[in-house]
Amino acid sequence: MPCILALIIFGILGIFSASHRALAKEAFSCVFRRITLRPCNTGFADKIKGKILSKIITRSEFFAKMVNKHYEILSWIFFILMLGSTVWVMRGVYNFYVFGSCNGLNESGFCAFDPSGENNKVTSLEGDNSCGITQKIEENVTLEDVDLSGFPAQNIGSKDTVVFIGCYACDYSRKAYPDIQKLIKNKKANYIFAHYPAKGDTMFLGDAGYAVRKLYGDEAFWKLNDYLFIADKNYILDKSNLGTILNSFNFDIKKVNELANGSETRIMMKNQIKELDKTNMYGTPTIFINGKAFVGPKPYRVYRSAINKFIFF
């Protein structure tokens, strides 16, 4: 067992030191003989044991005797601990690559690869709707019994479906939006978009989007929607700029405003919010890929892996 530990340790150190490379070769020879049921005849195990005991005895003769007596058992203990920590680290690396978090999908515990937790931050739907609230109860977020038929949709007919619930004022929604567009384009997935006014006064933008879609069709709506996610946030949130925005797309400002402020739009948007509330979502963006919820702006590879069925649910 000391040979295995030494092989791993000196193998790593040997990358930077020629003297350690020589020790790594001895360790490899020792391990190879042991796994072929032959004794380690290089004296390497004794050499390593001697180095360890010489360091300990200068500090405590008692501990040196204890280590010498139980050397093989202690070696096994350290090997098991090293193996367990290696498995744990590899699990964290896998989770980070596939889920964007070392701890699993939508988990907000500390992750060395994402120390600030950016991949799980959302604009909260609770309290003061402050940004930066991390995930809460992901397992309760679902599309079950949610009617999405009234929301804008693209590419209907694909075997994969992506539902993006975001807010025009939410920085995390704006961060995730380009990656979702890239995913839809590359994977040709069904795409459903839903605006949820999670932060600030953005309902008027949702109303305008509905009116544009009703008057000019889906293609016009998607162009406007793209603009609202990439344009300066403070600019689009200023109601006095809405007319200028609509005019830049050659929309009839009067017709759009009349429909956006009419009872039909109010009722429709109110019903859509009710449907979205059924998802039990707790922040934006909330993204469903084939029914699985992804809360917060994940790296693109996470969304791609979900489509490619790389995730083990």
Q: What is the CATH number of the domain that holds 175?
A: 3.40.30.10
What is d(CA 285, CA 296) in angstroms, rounded to the nearest whole number? 5
- pLDDT, tens digit, for every residue of 186-233? 989 999 999 999 877 899 999 999 999 999 999 999 999 999 999 999
Residue 243 confidence (pLDDT) above 90: yes
Q: What is the pLDDT of residue 128?
A: 45
φ, ψ at 21 (rounded to 5°): -65, -35
> Which whole number is the average pLDDT over 236-250?
96
**Residue 99's pLDDT is what?**
66
For residue 298, being part of any structural domain is answered with: yes
Residues 146 and 292 both lie in one domain: yes
Average pLDDT of span 53-80? 73
Asked if the structure places residue 180 within a domain, the reply is yes
Query: Does 52 lie in the same domain as 153?
Result: no
| Residue span of the structural domain in which 21 resides | 2-69
Beta bridge pairs of residue 292: 289
Whether 313 shows a pLDDT value over 60: the answer reads no
- The pLDDT, as a whole number, for residue 120 is 65
Residue type, 120: N
Domain boundary among 30, 50, 69: 69
Q: What is the pTM of this model?
A: 0.67
Q: Is the domain of 55 the same as that of 182?
A: no
Residue 238 has pLDDT above 90, yes or no: yes
In a domain? residue 312: no
Q: Residue 131 forms beta bridges with which residues?
A: 123
Lowest model confidence (mean pLDDT) among 37-46, 58-67, 172-181: 37-46
- Mean pLDDT on 180-184: 94
Is residue 224 assigned to a domain? yes
Q: What pLDDT is attached to residue 16? A: 42
Q: Is residue 88 part of a domain?
A: no
How many Å apart are CA 253 and CA 215, to the nearest integer? Answer: 11
Q: In the predicted model, what is the mean pLDDT of residues 266-285? A: 93
Q: Which of 48, 69, 90 finishes a domain?
A: 69
Check residue 37 and give its pLDDT.
53
Rounded mean pLDDT, 93-115:
67
**Tens digit of each residue's pLDDT (9 = 90 or more) over 132-157:** 444 456 678 899 999 999 999 998 78
Give domain status of residue 76, yes or no. no
On whether both 140 and 286 belong to a single domain, the answer is yes
What are 129's two structure tokens? Answer: 């709707």
63 and 128 fall within a common domain: no
Spatial separation of the C-alpha atoms in residues 134 and 126, rounded to whole Å: 12
Q: Which of 267, 313, 253, 271 is nearest to 289 (CA)?
A: 313
Q: Check whether residue 283 and residue 138 sit in a common domain.
A: yes
Query: Does residue 172 fall inside a structural domain?
Result: yes
The answer to whether position 110 is within a domain reads: no
Based on the fold, state whether residues 24 and 130 are members of the same structural domain.
Answer: no
**pLDDT band, residue 44 (cuts 50/70/90):** low
pLDDT at 3: 46
Whether residues 62 and 131 fall in one domain: no
Q: What is the pLDDT of residue 249?
A: 96
For residue 239, the 8-state DSSP code is: G
- Strands, sheet with 122-124, edge to edge from the N-terminal-most edge strand: 131-133, 122-124, 283-284
For the chain, what is the domain count? Answer: 2
10 Å CB burial of residue 197 (0-12, 13-18, 19+) is buried
